[in-house]
Amino acid sequence: YVANDSVFLPRFGDRKADDKARGILQEQFPDRDIVPVVIDTVASGGGGIHCATHDQPGKPVD
């Protein structure tokens, strides 16, 4: 998830792969903090950071 000053990166527990992914994102976003996030709780409901940050539909106005 790309935010104003940060990029949130899902962390999957494979240290070598997680570090490589973080390095790639740091190269692409040199002025932002790369924040690894354990997503086990989020992913267990089906989805990940991208799915969890979508807008929720509002209630129609009568």
Kindly report, residue by residue over 4-42, the tens digit of the pLDDT: 999 988 888 899 999 999 999 999 999 999 999 887 665
Q: What is the pLDDT of residue 50?
A: 62
Active-site position among 51, 52, 56, 60? 51
> Known catalytic residue: 48?
no
Q: Where are the domains of the chain?
A: 6-52
Q: What is the pLDDT of residue 54?
A: 66
Query: With bands split at pLDDT 50, 70 and 90, how would you rate the model's confidence at 59?
Result: confident
Cα-Cα-Cα-Cα dihedral sign, residues 19, 21, 23, 26: negative
Q: What is the pLDDT of residue 56?
A: 64
Q: What is the pLDDT of residue 43?
A: 57
The H or E element that residue 17 is part of is helix 15-28
DSSP single-letter state for residue 54: S
CA distances to 26, 33, 49 from 8, in Å: 11, 8, 8
